[in-house]
Homo-oligomer: A and B are copies of this chain.
Amino acid sequence: MSAGESPWPPVGVVHSAYDQTEDTPIQSSLNLSDLGSVELVAAARPGLLGLDGFSHAWLLTWLDRPDDPGEASTWVAVPFLLRPTGEQKGVFAMRGPRRPTPLGLSLVSLLSVSATGFSFVGVDLLDGTPVLDVKPYVERFDRPAGAVRSGWFDELDPPDGIRPRDLGPTSR
């Protein structure tokens, strides 16, 4: 129930402009004006073959700096976006970074693929975040067929670039 060092060897690292969770936009899809990059470890670079044909990718990351390492339980919490009301949700019904297994899932828009990694727009990660896997976004696999209900998110309309700090102090 704590983060810190990844239990798996990372395949790379995120470079971004952020070093504090409270200042980091809460979702990559809400922060499309911001540039980041992934630098792969040398051994992993052959794995980029073919990635330049894709417009988007998933970053699976190890969220190594939880905003509150002293938090005793992460099963139920107040999501960033619900700080104004203090309403709690189960961790499996929210997307925040304080999770039992602190895996991040970020959808990014690919800008360019180089010999050592790639650059993207859509940044919701701290600088230095370990990258565990990169998967190409495949429309047929990753877009639900039929109607979608997004739970409590459907009642909100967060502005682009919103950060936890904009949503007031943690309430618990």
Contact = CB atoms under 8 A, between A and B. Distances in A.
A139 B93 CA distance: 13
Interface residues of A, number: 67
A44 B93 CA distance: 12
Number of chain copies forming the complex: 2
Interface in A45-63: 45-58, 60
A11 B139 CA distance: 28
The main secondary structure of chain A at its interface with chain B is mixed
A150 B138 contact: yes
Contact of A101 (B57, B60, B140, B152): B60
A137 B151 CA distance: 9
Contacts of A145: 29, 32
A135 B90 CA distance: 10
B47 A90 contact: yes
Contacts of A140: 27, 29-30, 150, 153
A7 interface: yes
B103 A50 contact: no
A142 B30 CA distance: 10
Contact of A103 (B44, B47, B99, B103): B103
Contacts of A75: 43-47
Nearest to A96: B135
A144 interface: yes
A132 B149 contact: no
A43 B45 CA distance: 39
Contacts of A28: 141
B149 A55 contact: yes
A133 B101 contact: yes
